[in-house]
Amino acid sequence: MVHAAAPRTLYDKIWDDHVVDTQPDGTCLLYIDRHLVHEVTSPQAFEGLRMAKRKVRAPEKTLAVVDHNVPTTDRSKGIDDPESRTQVETLAENAREFGIEYYNELDKRQGVVHIVGPEQGFTLPGTTIVCGDSHTSTHGAFGALAHGIGTSEVEHVLATQTLIQKKAKNMRITVDGTLPAGVTAKDIILSIIGEIGTSGGTGYVMEYAGEAIRALSMEGRMTICNMSIEGGARAGLVAPDQKTFDYLKGRPKAPKGMAWDMAMKYWETLVTDAGAHFDREVKLDAANLPPIVTWGTSPEDVVSISGTVPMPSAAPSEQKKAAIQRALDYMGLKGGEKITDIKLDRVFIGSCTNGRIEDLRAVAKAVEGKKVASTVSAMIVPGSGLVKQQAEEEGLDKIFKSAGFDWREPGCSMCLAMNADKLAPGERCASTSNRNFEGRQGFKGRTHLVSPVMAAAAAIEGHFVDVRKWA
């Protein structure tokens, strides 16, 4: 472990404490404290272990859960789709064979892997966390160095509990000021991606700082870190503070007693030192941010709710002009259209970006006593079985159902549409998820990314509305 005297960033500190070995060219072997596994990106990794007669080095540091492929309807009688069923059964079998703790589709603790980790206290400050899923960046909200990996790397971590890595550069994104009413963590991160572009963070780990970030709940911080990957960054980080510790205390897998006290001593050192070097700094004023809607097929295609769809002719380069035109053709939009004139067929509320209890409370508050527009089909998918249970204890499900929302079982659902929840060709959806790529929510489906409260208001009105002026 390195203890350099020079001021270090939060990323530097976590990195330094996990380096097992450094080669002369700077390539490092990084120790991995926590490994989350799901059914879609792991079968080939376990198969690789089996073929090479290798074991899982630290099964107790590995947690498996099904999420991507499970139906969000009643699952008590099994899964109909044979391919999905095979993948789910394969994970169950692999977890059993290699001695890994596993939450199946009927377990209360099951849910989207990035909601389950924090909920169980598996996600802890100062740890390194990986998963074969790009939205692993979510866990950075706790001051953990967390990022997605491919299946070959899943196999590498299973076999060695390490990853071969080169250190990324440091970027700090400071968001000061106070968010206006109706503007949320989702609007902050979409604004950041709009500012830096989807490749702006490539090669960096991004630390989010500033009073607007400190003011966010853990749920809000997770929403921000979750979409770091959409800005191209390897990982996102927020320094842990009292909110982090309060969130974690008493969680099933969080340390207890003396171990907690010892951990706290370490966690309190997890801040960027004054004068530490950042390769790039970005600043935003929260007070100026509006509710954001994406108009195109990349998360950088952002616009204010009070704005219009861009004109290709206004693009700064030929490549960009072609990209805008392609996106408009796909989305069935014309340059200059008002965002509030865009009508919707579907609304999806859920995902590892916005499927937590705070998101559902915000939606319930917005739709209580109202009705979903007759032209819209709207679905709410809680992020985990425990989120679902809590929402039901609070009576949120009754509010949703009486407003005409479909209340589902937990999973990734229409965020990536691997299960039966998907858009039909040409359908337009307001979605609280993280990607508006072509075909993401279904072949030829059209996705607009928004915050939960914006999605809720759009469901009621049948088109986008400015929630700052809507009641």
Partner 1 sequence: MQAFKTLTGVAAPLDIMNVDTDMIIPKQYLKTIKRTGLGTGLFSEMRYKEDGSDNPDFVLNKPAYRKAEILVAGDNFGCGSSREHAPWALLDFGIRCVISTSFADIFYNNCFKNGILPITVSQADLDKLMDDARRGANATMTIDLPAQEIRGPDGGVVKFEIDPFRKHCLINGLDDIGLTMEKANAIADFEKQNANARPWA
CB 270 to partner 1: min, Å: 12
CA dist 195 and 451 (Å) reads: 18
Core vs surface per residue 274-297: b (16+ CB within 10 A) or e: eebebeeebebebeebbbbbbbbb
Core vs surface per residue 301-322: b (16+ CB within 10 A) or e: bbbbbeebbbeeeeeeeeeeee
Residue 85 or 277: the one with the smaller Cβ distance to partner 1 is 85
CB 45 to partner 1: min, Å: 9
CB 221 to partner 1: min, Å: 21
Residue 256 or 361: the one with the smaller Cβ distance to partner 1 is 256
Residue 126 or 210: the one with the smaller Cβ distance to partner 1 is 126
Q: Cα-flanking dihedrals φ and ψ of residue 373, to 5°? A: -55, 145
CB 263 to partner 1: min, Å: 4
The type of residue at 267 is: W
| Closest C-alpha to 406, from 457, 349, 357 | 349
CA dist 223 and 453 (Å) reads: 14
* Residue 294 neighbours by CB under 8 Å, 6+ apart: 190, 301, 302, 303, 436, 447, 448, 449, 450
CB 466 to partner 1: min, Å: 28
CB 426 to partner 1: min, Å: 11
CA dist 254 and 249 (Å) reads: 7
CA dist 191 and 455 (Å) reads: 17
CB 112 to partner 1: min, Å: 14
| Closest C-alpha to 312, from 329, 292, 298, 299 | 329
DSSP E strands: which ranges in 101-228? 101-103, 128-131, 145-148, 162-165, 169-176, 204-209
Residue 132 or 350: the one with the smaller Cβ distance to partner 1 is 132
Cα 15 to its chain centre, rounded Å, is 22
In DSSP terms, 308 is beta-bridged to: 338
CA dist 138 and 381 (Å) reads: 18
Residue 142 or 405: the one with the smaller Cβ distance to partner 1 is 142
| Closest C-alpha to 289, from 177, 404, 400 | 177
CB 399 to partner 1: min, Å: 31
Residue 186 or 440: the one with the smaller Cβ distance to partner 1 is 440
Residue 156 or 388: the one with the smaller Cβ distance to partner 1 is 156
Cβ distance 84 to 420 under 8 Å? no
CB 219 to partner 1: min, Å: 23
CB 201 to partner 1: min, Å: 9
Residue 164 or 287: the one with the smaller Cβ distance to partner 1 is 164
> With the CA atoms of 115, 117, 120 and 124 taken in that order, what torsion angle do they form, in degrees rounded to the nearest 10?
-130
Residue 86 or 306: the one with the smaller Cβ distance to partner 1 is 86
Q: Cα-flanking dihedrals φ and ψ of residue 298, to 5°? A: -140, 145
Residue 139 or 388: the one with the smaller Cβ distance to partner 1 is 139
